[in-house]
Structure 1
Amino acid sequence: MTPTQLQNVAEAADTIGQLLSQNDLAGASAVLTPLTVPEVVELVDRLSIEDAAILYRLLAKGRALEVFEALSPGTQGDLVQALRNAEVTTLFAEMDPDDRVWLLDELPASVAPRLLRGLTRQERDLTSGMLGYPQDSIGRRMSPEFVTTHPQLTVAATMARVRGALDSAETVYTLPVTDHGRRVVGVVSLRDLMGATDDALIGDLMHEAHIAVVSEDAETAARRTTDYGLLALPIVDGEDRLVGILTIDDAARILKQEESEDAARQGGVEPLRRSYLSTPIRRLVRSRVIWLLVLAVGATLTVQVLDTFEATLAQMTVLALFVPLLIGTGGNTGNQAATTVTRSLALGEVTPRDVLKVLSREVRTGFCLGLLLGLLGFAIAGLVYEWHVGLVIGLTLVAVCTVAASVGGMMPLAARAIRVDPAVFSNPFITTFVDATGLVIYFLIAKAVLGI
């Protein structure tokens, strides 16, 4: 959305909030009517969930479904719990199976059976089948509604299939080509079909298919879809039979959610289920307090190191002046390495098997950074204080940067190797670890160089 649109939505949110507080539903509806669907979605994200539920009831039925499907799963979950049972049942029945699973993952487990009972037998079977796949697998994010064709079918017969499934299929722009055992043997695009003669065989038009196994990690499959620029990625079961497809818009949605979670956890907070402005204060506190407690406990290591080397500081108090500089530089170096390697893991550029290569690169990178900063620190500290103090600072910067880059680069790989989200090893955690290690290195070098 443009800045002007965002400003308009912000003003509309303030106006509607005042009207709802006055119970002026007609006035709120008048403000809501001219807004586009994206603007209504942004508006819902700015309101409290109670006001959002009232506002949602003011939308026409068709528009309400468009808005609901465009909301984030977290907002959908909160909105469902704020609406009446009859409204929720109607909404749930009109959603696509993959969108239903997104929603159910955000709701309490006790709510799912009640919502599933309101579906037709066919829709219930489709949705329940997807819920049976592992959490975070592509099976829970694919669409089981698709159109297939066969190598021996003609273009005319395939186009008839497409026209018959326009209302139910997730997409018709890329069609999986399957054999009689439902195994994927290729894909054909709608563009190819429209450019061919009616009697042309699909087997002569189809291309090699990229596929994903239903139990594969959703982020990995989504990344492959975007990397190859696919409009749809066929999903197969353990016996290579087609069970669903992942469309490009769903792949982008998965990656957006995963990247938001990674960014939050690298900053030492839990990801928010809703937008910042509509998230209650208690939930903001809950998303941050756990990591703060963990980091506070970790910071006691730094305090313990300072206590251990108290005598060293007492003999040469000038060393205390450089503590913030050294631990800050080490933490920043570790954070840079961790962020770079985490991103490379997400993009598939490195794997845990590349640990030695990554370690080698980070050791050299950290050493070079430390050498540059160390020379600068040596010159400045030597000129301002004494040259042997400058030598301590220079050597410490070289050592701390080397260690910090190595640790920061290794932690995401270690996390992936033990099947933990690399973002869990967040930047604040690395900073705390490097702080304590950097102080030990600093005081050991000072004792060796200064003889204290």
Structure 2
Amino acid sequence: MPLSISKAEMEEMQAFVKHSHRVDLSAYMLELEPEKRALMLRFFSKEQLAELFAELPAEDKINLIESLAQVDLPDILAELDSDELVDSLQELPSNLVTKLLLHIPENRRQVINRLLNYPEGSVGSLMSADYIAVRKRAKVSEVLEKLKTSTAGHEHLNTIFVIDDERRLNGYLYLADLLRLDTEDLSSIIHWRPLTITTGADQEEAAKLFHKYSLLVLPVCDSEQRLVGIITADDIFEVISEEIYEDYALMQGMAPSESSYLETSVITLAKKRIVWLLFLMLSATVTGGIIDHYEAVLSTAVALTAFIPMLMDSGGNSGSQSSTLIIQSLALDELDFSDSVHVVWKEFRVGFLVGTVLALVNILRMLLFTDTDFLVMLTVSVTLLLTIILAKLVGGFLPLLAKKLKQDPAVMAGPLVTTIVDACALLIYFKVAQILIGL
């Protein structure tokens, strides 16, 4: 059945393509019916098609490739920066990657293959090979000519790198300084001893450098300090976002997912959640065992039972606060295992202050709203103070220990801290009850 669309709709569609950002375009395209999507593609320039291709999910990339004429593919692939092209190829099936590589010129294909061979998660797999590099003896006119003929994106041209005859990185200069220069000599605007990172480094290390030094671009070198690529700030945003999501998932006791929520199957979601839930369920038998062990204490002072949830929740929340703060500091390289003593001492003082306030407020609350024996009130409040202190110490130290053991500190937050603190809180509670109430 032929597609029915009015002239006004076509004009509106054409105007939307002309004036919209590529992110909005890709989102809009995904909502269209296949027939309207095919019609809308007619209004795209080759540059816009390349931008759309880079933004679309893997399945829609495949559909777009199948809908394009073979003669258009080389031009569209040529419009993509090397890092965007590599990211796209990594999402596609190997047979389709082989097909697309045939549409790329030999000299560029070698570069793309080299980038594809870097390990996933390494700086080499993230970097772009599109940049401007000149010799330090180059003249301003030569550099400007290179800029004019470059096919790199605008974000790759703001910084120009200075190399020697062996392609070792010597320095860099800014495009703005170049345009303001009133001589042919570059030496006065070159910044020497640039900050660099190697191809084998983890992407997270690059993210830390961008954050610490407020970088817009970071040159990537091989083991011999030869310039092989660059990472720009827009490249690192996704890395930072993925790291935040991964840490948050681990802190909630889940394995991170690479797909969106709606694209992930129920079975996959269940698999990612079940391991931690099983661990927490089984570890809860420890707290149950503690309660069984002190059953005589509870039967003698039944009022103690009502305050167990409050003590466990307060301890768990308090520990999670500390672990979250320490994990953030570890991610920013503000802390290391060598700072353990300072962290423990600080968290002890914080726990004492917070626990004292909570304990006093708890006594006041019980005096005003409950008819509880004074010794029970004292037992609950002393336990609350000690539990808060312990939770702060556990929450502060466990992420540091994980870092020392080369594990992700986020694993030591959330559910794990809560589980440990819950068991300790019960032990403290019953021991304090035995001492103060004499049970």
Hey, what's the Cα distance between the residues in 1 that align with 2:77 and 2:418?
45
Q: Is the 8 A contact 2:395 2:413 kept in 1?
A: no
**Cα offset, 1:168, TM superposition:** 6.9
Aligned match of 2:301:
316
CA shift digits 1:107-159 (9 cap, x unpaired): 67787666656644333322332233333221211112211122221212211
Measure how far apart 1:357 and its partner are: 1.9
Which amino acid letter does the alignment assign opposite residue 445 of structure 1? V
Could you say if the C-alpha distance between residues 402 and 115 of structure 1 is closer, same or farther in structure 2, counting changes exceeding 3 Å?
farther
1:165 aligns with 2:150: yes
Task: Name the aligned partner's letter for residue 200 of structure 2.
Answer: S
Residue 207 of structure 1 is aligned with which of 191, 197, 222?
Answer: 191
Q: Which moved more, 1:317-326 or 1:297-306?
A: 297-306
Question: Which residue of structure 1 lines up, in the alignment, with residue 60 of structure 2?
Answer: 79
The equivalent residue for 2:416 is 429
1:53/1:83 contact within 8 Å kept: no
Where does 1:83-232 land on structure 2 (aligned, <5 Å)?
Answer: 90=73, 95-103=80-88, 105-106=90-91, 116=101, 119-167=104-152, 171-199=156-184, 201-208=185-192, 209-232=194-217
1:165-314 alignment runs, 5 A limit? 165-167=150-152, 171-199=156-184, 201-208=185-192, 209-277=194-262, 279-314=264-299
Tell me the residue number matched to 1:18.
none
Match of 2:379 among 392, 398, 401: 392
Query: Counterpart of 1:186 in 2: which secondary structure?
Result: strand
2:135 is paired with a residue of what secondary structure? Answer: coil
Q: Secondary structure at the match of 2:133?
A: coil
- Does residue 20 of structure 2 align to residue 38 of structure 1? no
Q: Deviations over 1:184-226 (max 9, x none)?
A: 2211000000000241x22221114221222222122123224
Maintained 8 Å contact 1:374/1:394: yes
CA distance in 1, matches of 2:13, 2:136: 50
Cα deviation, residue 42, structure 1: 3.6
Task: Indicate the structure (1 or 2) with the bigger Cα radius of gyration.
Answer: 2
Structure 1 residues 78, 426: CA separation in 2 closer, same or farther (over 3 Å shift)? farther
Structure 1 contact 260–271 (Cα < 8 Å) conserved: yes
Structure 2 CA distance for partners of 1:412 and 1:116, relative to 1, 3 Å: farther
Gap change, CA 1:211 and 1:242, over 3 Å in 2: same
CA distance in 2, matches of 1:410, 1:296: 24
For the residues of structure 2 that align with 1:287 and 1:106, how far apart are their CA atoms? 21
Which residue identity lines up with residue 79 of structure 1 in the other structure?
Answer: D
1:12 match: none
Change (3 A) 1:162 1:405: same
Q: 1:217 to 1:58 in 2, by over 3 A?
A: farther
Change (3 A) 1:134 1:364: farther
Closer/same/farther in 2, CA of residues 115 and 52 from structure 1, 3 Å limit:
farther
Asked if structure 1 preserves the Cα contact closer than 8 Å seen for 2:53 and 2:64, the reply is no
Task: Say whether the 8 Å CA contact 2:3–2:35 is kept in structure 1.
Answer: no
The structure 2 residue matched to 1:442, chosen from 414, 429, 438, is 429
- Secondary structure of the corresponding residue to residue 407 of structure 2: coil
CA displacement at 1:249 relative to structure 2: 1.0
Please say if 1:416 is aligned against 2:403: yes
CA contact (8 A) 1:334 1:434 kept: yes
Contact 1:379 1:390 in 2 (8 A): no
1:150·1:177 contact (CA, 8 Å) conserved in 2? yes
Contact 1:145 1:170 in 2 (8 A): no
Q: CA separation of 1:84/1:247 partners in 2, compared to 1, >3 Å: closer, same or farther?
A: closer
Letter in 2 for 1:362: E
In structure 2, do the counterparts of structure 1 residues 312 and 228 end up closer, same or farther at CA, with 3 Å as the change threshold?
A: same
- The reply on whether 1:372 has 2:353 as its aligned counterpart is no
2:54–2:85 CA contact under 8 A, matched in 1: no
Distance, in Å, in 1 between the alignment partners of 2:289 and 2:2 is 59
Q: Give the drift of 1:277.
A: 5.0
Give the match for residue 17 of structure 1.
Answer: none
The answer to whether the aligner puts 1:332 opposite 2:320 as a matched pair is no
Gaps of 5+ in 1: 1-21
Range with bigger deviation, 54-63 or 368-377: 54-63
Q: Measure the CA separation in 1 of the matches of 2:367 and 2:215.
A: 59
Q: How much has 1:283 moved relative to structure 2?
A: 4.5
The answer (yes or no) to whether the contact 1:265–1:424 under 8 Å persists in 2 is yes
Deviates more, 1:225-234 or 1:188-197: 225-234
Whether the 8 Å contact between 2:53 and 2:61 is mirrored in structure 1 is no
* 1:350 corresponds to: 335
SS in 2 for 1:322: helix
Deviation at 1:410, TM superposition (A): 1.9
Residue 119 of structure 2 aligns with an amino acid whose one-letter code is P
SS at match of 1:144: coil
For the structure 1 residues 24 and 381, does the alpha-carbon distance in structure 2 shift closer, same or farther, using more than 3 Å as the test? farther
Distance 2:96 2:285 in 1: 43
- Alpha-carbon distance in 1 for matches of 2:169, 2:402: 34
Indicate the RMSD between aligned Cα atoms, in angstroms. 3.2
Q: 1:401 aligns with which of 377, 388, 396?
A: 388
Matched letter for residue 392 of structure 1: T
The answer to whether the 8 A contact 1:334-1:405 is kept is yes
- Residues 294-318 of structure 1 deviation map (CA, whole Å, 9 limit, x = unaligned): 3223323222222222222222111
1:3 is matched with: none
Residues 81 and 152 in structure 2, CA contact (< 8 A), matched pair in contact too: no
